[in-house]
Amino acid sequence: MAAATKAGLKDNPAMSFVMLTDSQVVPSQPINKDFSKPLSKNKSSNTSTRLEPLDSDDPPSMSQQIESSTRIFEILSARSDIDHPICTECTDLLLTSLQSRLSCAQKERDAYITFLKSLNTTSPNPSALQKAQSSLAAARTAEEKAFSTLLSLEKEKADLDAEIAALDAESSALDAEEHAFWRDRNAFALTLSEFQSERDALNAAYEHDARLLERLQRTNVFNDCFCISHDGHFGTINGLRLGRLPPPQNVEWAEINAALGTAALLLATVAERLGCEFRGYRIRPMGSTSSVEKFEAPHSQSSSTSTITPGATTTTTTTAPASSPSHHHHHSPPTTQQNQKTTTLDLFSSGDLPLGANKFLHRRLDAGLAAFLDCIRQLGEFVEHSAAAAAAAASSSTASPASIKGIARLPYEIKKDKIHGVSIRLGAGTDETWTRACKYALTCCKYLLAHASNAGARAGKGAGGAT
């Protein structure tokens, strides 16, 4: 089998062999002598002496062949990683491995041969060698220049790195400063927003208060408290009719008394507002039982007894009538204490009276109405003189006194107990004339009320300008 394998290896065209001659083969006897030395240690000298030389003409014995094979196997085992002898399968695997290694070695050999041939064919001539040397020198010169350039660039890079580091530090400082700026800016914006909110709140409150003030300035307290109008032939105050007409337009005395009490309160309020004090009268507004107190000096008692109403309450008191606080009132009595007689005149009636007794039993109401009308006249004169003095102070000195005096007058002229030629006394005429006279009196009261409202508005504006 070994012979067949050896024959197959020789016939394989992929294998290359070097054929050796017989003279080049090492004789077997010297080998046996060389390898017989270690064996002689284990064997006796008698065995070695019995070995015959291999070159004898006699064929070797079986033991010699076995011993030679054993020696060969030992040599192979010492020179490789495989212990010999080996089986057929291991031999085939070993041959396959060795063939692959042989193939790689052949390829490497062929590559070396090809490189060697190309090297031999491309060997440079002297001119090419000189050209290559000059190229090498130029390359080295360029390398030196490039190296020097690289050094300068590295130095420049180092400078740039240092500059970048400085710029980074400056950028960090600027970032910190920017953060501080935005923090302060946000705090300022928050404070500004709070101030703006407070300002808007104050502006809103100011606008609200200004509108409220304007509405209050336009508000007329006198008109709200004393609403004077008319209802057909009747003059009304706060919806209360003042006057009497034949049925079915008759008005109850309770409504008439309430209307007279409201008119008395109006006249007393306007006089107090304008600072006017009536001469010889004092109005006592007491609702449906209001009255007018009339003051008379003792020396005029005999001359005035004929005008005192029967049944009127008469008392004698010691009073000191105060002068008007306004210097425009030219009819104020001197401020001296005198014993005065006080007569209370009613501004109400107890109800309907029997037929034919009106002119006698209504004399107390008539006296009160006449005193009430006289108080309206005095307050009208006070307003006229006050308006004339104010106009004279505000106008030029060339203005005529007549034009100044006619500035403010009552809408209806009042003479004694008549207004616009109609008597205010209930017993002096019919119900229609008395109703018309009461309507005229309420119209004059509305004029005085409007004057008091305008005077209050001018005083408020003056006080606001002074502040």
**pLDDT tens digits, 333-362:** 433 335 678 899 999 887 655 544 555 567
Tell me the per-residue pLDDT of 385-437, one tens digit each, with 9 for 90 and over. Answer: 888 887 777 765 444 444 444 456 889 999 988 998 999 888 778 889 999 99
Residue that wins the pLDDT comparison between 216 and 352: 216
* Helix count and strand count (H, E) for the chain: 13, 10
Which residue shows structure tokens 């990683």? 81
Q: What is the pLDDT of residue 353?
A: 55
Average pLDDT of the segment spanning 436-457 = 87
Q: What is the pLDDT of residue 361?
A: 60
Residue that wins the pLDDT comparison between 134 and 334: 134
Residue that wins the pLDDT comparison between 86 and 313: 86
Flag whether pLDDT at 312 surpasses 80. no
Residue that wins the pLDDT comparison between 68 and 407: 68
Residue that wins the pLDDT comparison between 158 and 231: 158
Residue 338 has phi, psi (to 5 degrees) of -140, 155
Question: pTM for this one?
Answer: 0.50
Distances (CA, A) of 192 to 186, 187, 198: 10, 8, 10
Contact between 386 and 276 (Cβ < 8 Å): no
What percentage of the chain carries pLDDT values higher than 90?
38
pLDDT band at 83 (very low <50, low <70, confident <90, very high): confident
d(CA 164, CA 167): 5
Q: What is the pLDDT of residue 26?
A: 42
What tokens were used for 312?
């009127």
Tell me the per-residue pLDDT of 274-303, one tens digit each, with 9 for 90 and over. Answer: 999 999 999 999 999 999 999 987 654 434
Q: What is the pLDDT of residue 30?
A: 43
Average pLDDT of the segment spanning 363-391 = 89
By CB neighbour count within 10 A (0-12 exposed, 13-18 middle, 19+ buried), where does 403 fall? Answer: exposed
